[in-house]
Amino acid sequence: MVEICIIYDKVRFEEKALYDKALEKGLKAQMVDAKTITVSTDSKKSDLALGDVIMQRSVSHYRGLYLTACLEFLDYPVINKFNVAETCGNKLVTSLVLAKSGIPTPRTQFAFSADSAMDVILKTGLPLVLKPIVGSWGRGVFPLRDEETANMIVEMREENDSPLARIYYVQEMIDRPPRDVRCIVVGDRLVTAIYRYSAENEWRTNVARGGKAELAPITKELEDLALRAAKAVGGGIVGVDLMEDKAKGLVVHEVNNTVEFRGAASVSVADIPGAMVDYAVSIARK
Amino acid sequence: MKTKVECQECGADISIPEDAVVGEIVTCPDCGGDYEIATKANEKVELKPAETVGEDWGQ
């Protein structure tokens, strides 16, 4: 019997849903707190007893990423793989991978100093969007609508202690309806797609920001793009986020590697955790 | 019956939902302090202060 190990640092709706689903399917399952695991260069797989396949669900990107590196060192199959987590956890790398794979994505410029960031911003013209390259739930994502605001925000970033704050990710502002599309891809299957609407007085669409979810129709184009984007970052279980550009059509702007699906589960008839658990079993049997 | 645990900050009662599991975060209704459920056995629940949300958290 396959044993699934769900690694968490904070138990959310998603981790409970995965655990319950695994038990419901008659599998063995365990939940392990990432904060309690230690690994050494001498460690053996059998020292940890983490089952046959690991679902890495840490909320902290770096904790999940480097713990996954350690678990892969011990030959555990981990969903998602280190390489996938590394790509998806960094918006700059994701944009490069998407563009390289010919997947429509918002035009994004990268600058490596405040001066060059301001040059790019003024040359391109406003409005634009400045995003941190790591971090999410829409935090630190700022619309730049006038030069004064742009100057202020770039200055703020300069004063930030994190070296990552000095990497500037400047994206075109997509002319879109007040929603985006979140696709949940599991392996080579698009399990469900939802629209995420911005909350009132909020331009970002993250459910974590109070955004509302609604079922989105799965068109051939949406399915094709979501699956291609998932494949481009290395596959596994991912959330592909798209926007509907009024001129260019669908563009992929982000791929999430520890996908939250509470919003999607509240409107979708698809068995999202069921699809994820089945996929984990298929990986364990490989 | 709902389990109640005293908030370590302000002393208010924090209700622990019956289906809560270890690792879940509960919030004090009075002071807003966040706690992680450290252990849970029957009606006995122990809390520890939750980790602060980091810059790299979320999807």
Residue-level pLDDT at B59: 65
pLDDT tens figures, A62-114: 999 999 999 999 999 999 999 999 999 999 999 999 999 999 999 999 999 99
pLDDT tens figures, A207-233: 777 778 999 999 999 999 999 999 999
Does the distance separating the beta carbons of B57 and A135 come in below 8 Å? yes
Instruction: Tell which CATH classification among 3.40.470.10, 3.30.470.20, 3.40.309.10, 3.40.1180.10 matches the domain A175-270.
Output: 3.30.470.20
The count of structural domains within chain B is: 1
Taking contacts as CB-CB distances below 8 angstroms, the residues of chain A near B57 are 59-61, 135-137
Q: Is A188 helix (H, G, I), strand (E, B) or coil?
A: coil
Handedness of CA A221, A241, A162, A86 (dihedral sign): negative
Distance CA B28, CA A88 (A): 34
Q: Is A98 helix (H, G, I), strand (E, B) or coil?
A: helix
List the strands of the sheet with A53-56, edge to edge: A28-33, A3-8, A53-56, A78-79
Per-residue burial over A266-286, b if 16 or more Cβ lie within 10 Å, else e, is eebebebbbbbbbbbbebbee
What residue in A sits closest to B59 (Cα-Cα)? A136
> Complex ipTM, two decimals?
0.75
Distance CA A247, CA A198 (A): 21
At A102, which helix (H) or strand (E)? none
Confidence of residue A271 (pLDDT cuts 50, 70, 90): very high
Domain(s) of CATH 3.30.1490.20: residues in chain A: 108-172
Tokens matching residue A185: 């891809």
pLDDT tens figures, B8-49: 889 999 999 888 899 999 999 999 889 999 999 878 899 999
Residue-level pLDDT at B53: 77
Taking contacts as CB-CB distances below 8 angstroms, the residues of chain A near B54 are 60
Q: Mutate one of A6, A9, A10 to test the B interface: name it (highest B CB count within 10 A).
A: A10
pTM: 0.91
Structural fold of domain A3-87? Rossmann fold (3.40.50)
Residue-level pLDDT at A139: 83
Distance between A123 CA and the closest CA of chain B, angstroms: 30
Domain over A108-172 is classified CATH 1.10.287.3510: no
Taking contacts as CB-CB distances below 8 angstroms, the residues of chain A near B24 are 10-11, 16
